[in-house]
Structures are given as C-alpha cells and as structure tokens.
Amino acid sequence: MNKKLKIGILGLIVVLVILIINFSTGIKSAEKAIKLSSSKPLSIIHEEKTNRGSIVFYETLGEDSLSTAFVRKSLGRYKVVYDGVQGDVSLVAKKFGLSNMYFPTIEKTSLPIYFGLIGNPEIDQVKIMEKGRNVEGQAKIIEAEGKKIWLVYMNRFQGSDFDIVGLSSDGKEIVKIDGDISPYYADQKPFKSTYQ
C-alpha cells in the first residue's frame, strides 16, 4: 500500500475510536445532564419531549422553586442548553393564581416558551393573549407529581406585551396577569446558547 492510503486509513481509525469513546462515555439521559449541573438533590417533575430536545421541569429538594431546563441530545450525549428557576414559586402561584416565566428563542431549540405553576385549584385552563394583534394561544396543562404546570410555545407570537389569563373549566376568568417579557420579545432573532 502506498503511504497516503495508510495515513488515510489510520486517520479514519482515529476518528472512529474518538466517536466510539464519545458515544460510550456520554451522558445518556436528560435527567442525568441536569443532575450533573447541580450539586443539590433534584426531583424531576416532568419531561416534555419536543422535536429539538426536551423541556424538563424539576425541583430542588427542600426549596420552593420550579426549575426548568432545555436539554438537547447531540452526538449521543445529552446537554443542558438553557435553564432557569422560579423562586418562592408556590407562594407566588397561590397569591396570584399562577406563576410565569419566559424562555427566549435559543438557536436549535423549541424555544421560546412561556410557562408557570398553577396555584389556584379553580384554574383549569390558561391562555396567553398578545395585546397588539389580539392573537391568543391555549396553554398545555401538565399534571405531574402533584403539580399543575402550564406551557405555551410562543413561536407564532410577536412583541413583548401579553396577558396571561387563568380560566375555570367553564371558561370563567379567575385571574389576569400582565405578562410583559421585556427586554425580550417573542419574535426576536435566536440567541446562541451560553452553555456550549
């Protein structure tokens, strides 16, 4: 064999070995990726799978918080791309009927999303209403681990001024919250993840 062919085969073998090591030693689940990034004990509430990864809702044991992370699988490994936490979430949700948090558009994710914890047992539905164009969207209600979480994908919305409306099962308005997401706006250009 000539020298170029030997070098090419050797290079291919090196690449294959690196890929095999990468796949076999990587983080194998969204839960493990989240737990790796925290020194405190966590409890996963719900994992919402999307076409670009997973939105994982979890709590830090012993704290009144709702943590949320977007986790993506790449080259056989899971990694956290974006995350955030709502502190005193039960207190806020009970006082105002529901809590709310916004995740902006991040490249290669299913974001932007608007979400929160429902604290008023009368609330069975949540709507987001864009004030400028009167566009509205129905939230998905996730019931897991004794909690009710609302989630809206914000892809079709524009601007930063929204109303979050909590409704009873018969459509009666229970609570209306001004959901100003400034300095973000729903239709902004995607950010690069700072976690990469």
**pLDDT of 174-189, one tens digit each?**
999 999 999 998 999 9
Q: Where are the domains of the chain?
A: 26-180
pLDDT digits (tens, 9 = 90+) for 2-44: 887 778 777 777 776 665 555 555 677 888 888 877 778 899 9
Query: Distance (Å, rounded) from C-alpha 6 to C-alpha 18?
Result: 18
The token pair at 12 is 């291919």
Question: Could you tell me if 72 and 56 are in contact, meaning their C-beta atoms sit under 8 angstroms apart?
Answer: no
Give the start-end residues of each E strand in the chain. Answer: 42-50, 53-60, 65-74, 77-87, 101-103, 113-117, 125-130, 135-138, 140-144, 147-153, 161-167, 173-180
